Amino acid sequence: MHPILKTQWERLHPPVGLNQDVAETLLRQCAINAPLVAIEWLGTGCANTNYKLTFASAKPLVLRIYQREHHSLAREIAIYRRLAGIIPAPTLLHSSNDGEVIKQPWALLEWIDGKLMRDVLMGGDDAVAGECAFSAGQALTRLRHIGFSQGGFFEQGLCVRPFSPAETYYPFAMARLHRPPVQEALGAAWVERIHQVLQESRSWLPAVNPANLTHADFDPSNILVEQHRGVWRVKAVLDWEFALASSYLLDVGLFLRYDYGLPTTYRQRFAEGLRSDGSPLPSHWLASAKLMDLLCLLQLLSDNPVHLRPNLHLDVGALIRRTIRSWPP
C-alpha cells in the first residue's frame, strides 16, 4: 500500500540547528536555571522546528522555533489562551520575537507525555483506531462551538481579516486548479474532471459565514493520545500555526484524508464523536468535508515545488485522484 498519514513528506525547510550554549542562553532569558542534560530534535513536523529539552531536576520542555511565518507565534499565543479548558493543548510558558539569540520567533511549551496518534494508528488495531477517532471527534465538536461572525484569516491575535471574494472556497479552488504547477502535476484530463466535480458539487461547500476556530492541520500527525483506564483518548492537539476562522468541515476533511487506508471504525467512530454532544451533522457532511480537503490538496500542489518535495507531490496527486475516482463519497 502507498504510504499514508504523511509519513514520507519532506520538510519545507531544514531544521534550525540548536547547540547547548544557545539553548542555555534562551533558558536564562526565561529564568530557567535547571541543568540542561539533553536536546532532542522532534523530527515529525514538516514546517517548524521543535526540540525536547530534558533537565536534571525539572520537567522537560519543548522549544518551538517558527520558520514558516513569523506571525505564527502571536497567533498561537492567542489560540492557546482561547482554548484553555475547552480542548487539551500545550501550555505556552515563554516566548520571544526579539531575534537576539536566534533570528526566528520561538516559544517554550510544556512537554506532554503521550503518543502521536499517527504512530498508534499505524499499529493496525481496529478497536484502538476507533477509540482514537472517537476522542478526536469529541475534541473537534467542542472546537466548532468557538465561533466567529465571519470567515477569514487571523491577523492581530484572533482578529479576523475576512476572506476576499477570491479567497472564498469555490473561487479559491478554481484558481489553484488552473495554476501551472497543478496542471503539470495532474495533467489536462484530471484537471478537467476535477473542474467538473467542483462545478457540480459547489453547493456542498459550506457557507463562509458564520465560522468557527479551525485548526486547518487537524490530522493524526498533530494529535497526542494516551491510554486512560484502558481506552485511548486525545491528550493534546498540537501545532496551531495554520489556524483560521472557517468551517469545522475543513478539519473533518483533513482528519479523514487517509481513511481509505485505516479501519472502517475510524470514520464511523469519528462521526460518533462529532455528534457526541448532540450537535447534528449536515446530511452531506462527508462530501462537504472531502471537498474542503480537496481545496487543501490543490493548494499543496500549487505552493510546493515538486523538485523540493517530490514525495509530497506523489502522495497529494494520488489523494486527489482517489477522491475524484470515488466521487461522490
| Reported confidence tier of residue 220, pLDDT bands at 50, 70, 90 | very high
Long-range own/partner contacts, residues 296-300 (CB < 8 A, 24 or more apart): 296/216, 296/250, 296/253, 296/254, 297/323, 298/173, 298/176, 298/177, 298/182, 298/194, 299/172, 299/176
The topology (CATH level 3) of 115-325 is Aminoglycoside 3'-phosphotransferase; Chain: A, domain 2 (3.90.1200)
Instruction: Check: pTM over 0.85? Answer yes or no.
Output: yes
SS (H, E, C) 186-255: HCHHHHHHHHHHHHHHHHHCCCCCCEEEECCCCCHHHEEEEEECCEEEEEEECCCCCCEEECHHHHHHHH
pLDDT confidence of residue 1:
58
The reported pLDDT for the residue numbered 49 is 96
Residue 207 cell numbers, joined:
457557507
pLDDT tens readout for residues 122-170: 998 999 999 999 999 999 999 999 999 999 999 988 999 999 999 999 9
What proportion of the chain, given as a percentage, has pLDDT over 90?
94
pLDDT tens readout for residues 7-55: 999 998 899 999 999 999 999 999 999 999 999 999 888 889 999 999 9
- Kindly state the cell numbers that stand for 262: 485505516
- Domain 20-110: CATH superfamily is Phosphorylase Kinase; domain 1 (3.30.200.20)
Three-class secondary structure of residue 87 per DSSP: coil
Query: Can you give the pLDDT at residue 300?
Result: 98
Q: Which of 71-75, 158-162, 223-227, 248-252 has the lowest mean pLDDT?
A: 71-75
Sorted by where each begins, the domain ranges of the chain are: 20-110, 115-325
Amino acid at 133: A
CA 161 vs. chain centroid, Å, equals 20
